[in-house]
Structure 1
Amino acid sequence: MSSMQYPLSLLWATPLVAFLGYASHRASLCTVRAVGDVLESRRFERFGGFLRAMLWAMLLTLPALLLMPSLYAAPTPTAPLWLGLGGGFLFGLGAALNGGCSFSTLQRLADADWRMLATLAGFIIGVAAWQLAPPLFTLNSQPGHPSPAWLMAALALLVIWAGVEIRALWPHRRGLRERLGADAYSPRATAVLLGLGAGALYLGFGPWTYTYTLRGSVSALAGDPVAPPATQLLLVPVLLLGMMISAWRRGAWHKARPATGWPLNLGGGLLMGLGGALIPGGNDTLLLRLIPTLTPHSLWIYLMLVAGVAGGLLLKRAALNPAPAARRPDDDRSC
């Protein structure tokens, strides 16, 4: 996409990204919270919302891969699989320590939780540290395109699934203004907005998620010759602005936020940055760009990210609730 096309794309991408920020804040999207739901109460509703958003994004990207195969390309540089898996685990572990993934870090910052500034600082430091370190691997070549027959079969299944989803949403007869003004959006409704919006942004604007953009910008400052377009950087504050509007309408700015605990956020952000340098990006990039465009190994990397979140939550639980030490028999001796 030429430099002249990017300003034109901003005319529709800017309000769309702001609305996606608003909607994601209303839905309280968070992979850490989704994993916590599974560990604590075996509830999968939040994971279902992420899965639906990924499938809605795929519904737009698969036809593009059939009609415009040049859109299908793995991010460059591409690390070996084992490093990508390790990056996913590091990102998930850091998100658990931080108490929020890439989505909820911005959401909590919009709620005036200033500890998230430490998280973003840690992310930047982690990406820069990896970029400045001596190269540890040889870059892989770009993979081939998926089979058109396979893409058409997958697209047919997605169309059937989308019809079922729309039918499930149809009985809710609330007006559009009432739905948009609701204090909380349902995971199923948010998935439609986020998935279709993300798919449209990828087709018309290229990689747009804030972790991917932030990672590319930091890498460029650290010496990487490939940098994201300057106009793409505008979408990061626009996404935050949409979340801030939602937070303001909820009255979240009037709630006090504790200032303690920021070193944990800084450490969590550092691990997220190291992992995000390898993915590249975060869970938002995996769910809304890499998996929907069928980037090789992206699904396995996301599963490793989820495993990292689960491991981090279990470590935090063990640290906060240590098991009582076993008593020796002679401890119960009477006088």
Structure 2
Amino acid sequence: MSSIDAPTKLVHAGLPPALLLFVFGGICAMVMGYAIQRGSTCMVAAIDELLTARKATRLLSIIEASLWVTGGLLLVRATGGSVDVPQPLTSAGWAVAGGCLFGIGACINGACAFGTVARLGSGQWAYVFTPVGIFVGDLTIGHVSQMMAAAMPEGSRVLAAAGWLLVPLIGLVTWRVVGFSRSLASRAPIAQPWSAHGATTMVGITFLAMFVTVGPWAYTDILADMARGMGGIGDGRWILFVLLLAGAAVGGWRANLLRLTTPSARAVLRCAVGGFMMGWGSTLIPGGNDGLMLIGVPLLRSYAWIAMSAMTVAIVAALAGTRWWVVGVYSD
């Protein structure tokens, strides 16, 4: 089932409970956007921090966010709820190619799918052209998706696992709740920039809440579905995307980062080209790094691990190559 179905049904159902669920999803989207901006959640930034500062703070926080989603899905399954997880069709070769293209595109863009939202929330308006580039990339390489029928569909080993997996995840939740409670008692966290762990924890929680209430959703999926003629203005997920950006803008405004400045032509071109390559990559994987990090990887999907590994290698190579080139130029 396409991920377009659940949110669209909620918008057009006309039933108060469904409407309330969608309103709840919209609130989660705004909080998620705020958290992404305040925590500068981004895979490119996380790897850059690892290479330059020899610190894995952002990377570990992203991993923790995926664990929150995993724990939530397991809890829903353990309590008798149903979890509708998409079953993408791809192959190892396409996953590698898609991961590499997405990683290189993210480096050219200067941010991944999450990072693009954070940059827009910080008033870097050139990143408006990143979703445009992603859509054009999806549109131009859409025919390749028809070649991916002989793929590797698979169930989730995590969702099929026994309930004992909940034990370590409950321990993680308890540890974070206690730490957050102490933070609230000692200072006003909203008035200060969010830590990487705090922000990505909130990203994971809000993503999970949206996933189990309004259905599978990510803005990269919206663009991909539109490119395949499966979505339009009537798709309720657009509302969630707009609210996600609105939340990021509120985060930027609270941090005094929003400015009405005209982006340079070079920045616009960089974002458009980077987004274009990200669109190619998300079609081949399929999905962007947001869905990979929060759904595919924690559920131990083979294609997701392959694509994320290829994406990570590509980002490391691109960042290292860029530094080598810059150092070489300025040392001559």
TM-score category, normalised to shorter length: 0.7 to 0.9
- TM-superposed deviation, 1:124: 1.0
Instruction: Please give the per-residue CA displacement for 1:186-218, whole angstroms capped at 9, x wherever unaligned.
Output: 122223311111111111111122112222222
Distance (Å, rounded) in 2 between the aligned partners of 1:175 and 1:81: 49
Indicate how the Cα distance of structure 1 residues 319 and 10 shifts in structure 2: closer, same or farther if over 3 A, else same.
same
Distance (Å, rounded) in 1 between the aligned partners of 2:145 and 2:303: 25
Return the match for 2:216 from 203, 207, 211: 207
Return the match for 1:271 from 273, 277, 283: 277
Match of 1:42 in 2: 54
Match of 2:195 in 1: 186
Match of 2:244 in 1: 239
Over aligned residues, Cα RMSD in angstroms?
Answer: 2.8
Match of 2:73 in 1: 61
Alignment of 1:11 onto 2:20:
no
Distance (Å, rounded) in 2 between the aligned partners of 1:86 and 1:133: 12
Contact 1:87–1:278 (8 Å) recurs in 2: yes
- TM-superposed deviation, 1:30: 1.3
Contact 2:61–2:197 (8 Å) recurs in 1: yes
Distance (Å, rounded) in 1 between the aligned partners of 2:162 and 2:236: 32
Distance (Å, rounded) in 1 between the aligned partners of 2:231 and 2:269: 32
Unpaired runs of 5+ residues, structure 1, are 327-335
Give matches, 1:62-81, under 5 Å.
62-66=74-78, 71=83, 73-76=85-88, 78-81=89-92
Match of 2:3 in 1: none
Distance (Å, rounded) in 2 between the aligned partners of 1:69 and 1:144: 17
Indicate how the Cα distance of structure 1 residues 320 and 148 shifts in structure 2: closer, same or farther if over 3 A, else same.
closer
Alignment of 1:248 onto 2:253:
yes
Q: Identity of aligned pairs, percent?
A: 23
Instruction: Please give the per-residue CA displacement for 1:57-96, whole angstroms capped at 9, x wherever unaligned.
Output: 11111123445686354434x1112211221121111101
Contact 1:72–1:145 (8 Å) recurs in 2: no
Give matches, 1:1-335, under 5 Å.
1=6, 2-3=9-10, 4=13, 7-66=19-78, 71=83, 73-76=85-88, 78-133=89-144, 135-140=146-151, 142-146=153-157, 150-174=161-185, 178-182=188-192, 184-220=193-229, 230-254=235-259, 256=261, 258-261=263-266, 262-322=268-328
Structure 2 length normalisation: TM-score? 0.85
Q: AA paired with 1:33?
A: A
Match of 1:330 in 2: none
- TM-superposed deviation, 1:162: 2.1
Contact 1:83–1:278 (8 Å) recurs in 2: yes
Question: Which deviates more, 312-321 or 300-309?
Answer: 312-321
Matched residue of 1:252: which SS?
coil
Contact 2:98–2:280 (8 Å) recurs in 1: yes
- TM-superposed deviation, 1:324: 8.3
Indicate how the Cα distance of structure 1 residues 257 and 68 shifts in structure 2: closer, same or farther if over 3 A, else same.
farther
Q: AA paired with 1:31?
A: M
Distance (Å, rounded) in 1 between the aligned partners of 2:158 and 2:145: 37
The higher radius of gyration belongs to 1
Question: Which deviates more, 2-11 or 17-26?
Answer: 2-11
- TM-superposed deviation, 1:134: 8.0
Contact 2:61–2:200 (8 Å) recurs in 1: yes
Contact 1:74–1:295 (8 Å) recurs in 2: no
Distance (Å, rounded) in 2 between the aligned partners of 1:283 and 1:148: 21
Unpaired runs of 5+ residues, structure 2, are 1-5
Off by >4 Å, runs of 4+ in structure 1: 66-70, 225-229, 255-258, 323-326
- TM-superposed deviation, 1:306: 1.5
Contact 2:103–2:312 (8 Å) recurs in 1: yes
